[in-house]
Amino acid sequence: MSDRWYEKAVIYCLDIDTYADSDGDGVGDIRGLIGRLDYLARLGVTCLWLNPIHPSPDRDDGYDVADFYNVDPRFGTLGDFAELLHQAGNRGIKVIIDLVVNHTSDQHPWFQSARSSPDSPYRDWYVWSETEPPDRHQGMVFPGEQNETWSYDRTAKQWFYHRFYKFQPDLNIENPQVREEIKKICAFWLQLGVAGFRMDAVPFIIEETEPGNPNSPKDFEFLSELRQHIQWRKADAVLLAEANVEAAELKHFFGDQGGSANRIHMLFDFMLNGRLMLALAREHPEVIIDALQNTPKLPPGGQWATFLRNHDEVDLSRLTAEQRGEVFSQFGPDEDMQLYGRGIRRRLAPMLGGDRQRLELAYALQFSLRGTPVLRYGEEIGMGDDLKQEGRNAIRTPMQWSSLPNGGFSTAAPEKLLRPVISDGEFGYENVNVTRQRHDPNSLLSWFERMIRTLREAPEVGSGSCQHVDVPVPAGVLVHRADAETGTMLFLHNLSPDEGVVDLGSLDPEAEFPNDVLADQEYPDPGKLDALPIAGYGYRWIRLKRFP
């Protein structure tokens, strides 16, 4: 049985500033989070991924770092952070943090020094051009909010490169000192006790930017170098990469040395994410099946991280324009719901019209598919979005803990909050909050706890294989299986509203006391598998066999 903890993890992503405010200043903080660790332990989370925790001018929600060796004073102190790691560890919860080293904030002392003089020791830490690069208006990540990737700096009297916003100058990965510094940053946080890193913008970190070449080469070797370094410092530390890449590029990101991944450990499954959205919109699983059948196999030790929603827009850029249109029309029909021409700035619950059946179906499917599931805070109670907020902030509203003022997030006056709590309508905090759902055994939160507990008993998911079971089924139904040396799990998910009956008789010879371990309702005991009923938007997780 594999010993790789991340294959069996349930990752929960949160931003400290919107989670829980312990001192009433309107901004969430580390002590607030420590107070909620028991909640997270009960939910079944085994790993927290914290969005950037460092001091920052906060113009990109912390992804513009001004000091890699500290925590944002609004969140607390390094001492508080060490306490968080200790308290989380006591509850069996690991912590990974965002490692944002493609760029820094333009307020970072390195950039301030670099721009101030050509002789600055930091000048070459960034990417400069003396002349205006002809590809200056190409490669923007935030079209509409950003119109160039090279900007002129009056102080430096040169052009500097920024893949993201203008206030995020890119670091120069070709400079050995920059590489050393990134390793030192990792070593520092590992020494404090983090379990690894969610690496931001990996394809851009390794880009060897050449002015005038919008397809600059990539130095994948840096990933091997970094992996080796962190592994020496902490053998089981992980690198979870944010990289929305083509299937053909996968092997370069994971690397393969002696038959095992030797670069990143995990990769967010953006390809599957777009397809999950399309499949939900079409109420038909065809595109998921295609992904299961046609994605290249990852090297041993390489793992997917599977998600439905994250802190950014739903990124549909890997779909065709027509497919994207289908998802928009179902889940983000108003222009105001869309972002960057490629995505949707909504939470899943409103996208699915608050339909509890469909929400369960979607999350049951996500958690049973290949890889390690990643859940964003608030999804477990079906939180909504606030389209009055700008851009991606629509889905970054404070956690809704109770029906107390500010949803129990903070005791500050509402106008002092970092961002308003969703307070009206179906998704307002009086309707959607943890306390209310805690008292209701039929709530979405109670369901999540059951579902995650069930997953813990099914190590085949995550550690094992994940394969489509190719049998004739009613339209809308996906059948897949997970196999490992512990046994076999079988999964039925009906993406359509129409009930049906699935014939899995061909699997009877393999079955030993097959039984539903999780389902949308009580179904007759499977017994023989040749006539398994499934409700519209229904799902059945069936244990097919277990080895002692």
* Minimum distance of ligand NOJ from residue 181's CB (angstroms): 18
Phi-psi group of 537: left, alpha or beta (phi > 0 → left; psi -120 to 50 → alpha; rest → beta): left
Query: Computed over its alpha carbons, how large is the radius of gyration of the chain?
Result: 23
Could you write out the DSSP letters of every residue in 272-307?
Answer: HHHHHHHHHHHT--HHHHHHHHHSPPPPTT-EEEEE
User: Nearest to ligand NOJ by Cβ — which residue?
Assistant: 63
Q: 7, 17, 170, 200: which one contacts ligand NOJ (CB under 6 A)?
A: 200
CB closer to ligand NOJ, 164 vs 409: 164
Residues in the chain: 548
What is residue 453's three-state secondary structure? helix
CA gap 79, 186 in Å, rounded: 18
Q: Contacts with ligand NOJ in 217-276 (CB under 6 A)?
A: 242
Instruction: Select 338 or 406, whichever has its Cβ closest to ligand NOJ.
Output: 338
To the nearest whole angstrom, how small is the minimum distance from the Cβ of residue 61 to ligand NOJ?
Answer: 6
Q: Is 498 a catalytic residue?
A: no
For the window 123-152, what string marks contact with ligand NOJ as x by the rule CB under 6 A?
Answer: ------------------------------
Told to check if 484 binds ligand NOJ by CB under 6 A, we report no
Bridging pattern class, strands 338-339 and 465-468: unpaired
Of these, 17, 21, 29, 60, which contacts ligand NOJ (CB under 6 A)? 60
For 14: left if phi > 0, alpha if psi spans -120 to 50, otherwise beta; the answer is: beta
Instruction: Report the residue from 186, 201, 418, 534 that binds ligand NOJ according to the rule CB under 6 A.
Output: 201
Give the active site residue among 21, 207, 242, 449.
242
Q: According to the binding rule CB under 6 A, does residue 63 interact with ligand NOJ? A: yes
CA–CA separation, 299 and 255 (whole Å) = 8
Residue pair 475/284 in contact by the 8 Å Cβ criterion: yes
Which among 72, 200, 315, 385 is annotated as catalytic? Answer: 200
Confirm or reject binding of residue 21 to ligand NOJ (CB under 6 A): no
Q: Which residues pair with 541 in a beta bridge?
A: 491, 518
**Residues 30 to 59: which contact ligand NOJ by CB under 6 A?**
none
Phi, psi for 238 (deg, rounded to 5):
-120, 155
Instruction: Name the minimum Å distance from CB 215 to ligand NOJ.
Output: 20
Site residue total, ligand NOJ (CB under 6 A)? 9
* 505 to 332, 433, 488, 526, 532: CA distances (angstroms): 40, 43, 16, 11, 9
Which is nearer to ligand NOJ, 242 or 379 (by Cβ)? 242
Secondary element (H or E) of residue 40: helix 37-43
Give 75 or 164: the residue with its C-beta nearer to ligand NOJ: 164
48 vs 445 by CB, closer to ligand NOJ: 48
- Tell the smallest beta-carbon distance from residue 313 to ligand NOJ (Å): 9
Q: Catalytic residue at 208? A: no
Q: How far is the CB of 164 from ligand NOJ (least distance, A)?
A: 4
**Residue 100 binds ligand NOJ, judged by CB under 6 A:** yes
Of 86, 74, 87, the C-alpha closest to 36 is: 87
Q: Which is nearer to ligand NOJ, 151 or 411 (CB)?
A: 151
Relative to beta strand 196-199, strand 94-99 is parallel
Active-site positions? 200, 242
Interacting residues toward ligand NOJ by CB under 6 A? 60, 63, 100, 164, 200-201, 242, 311-312
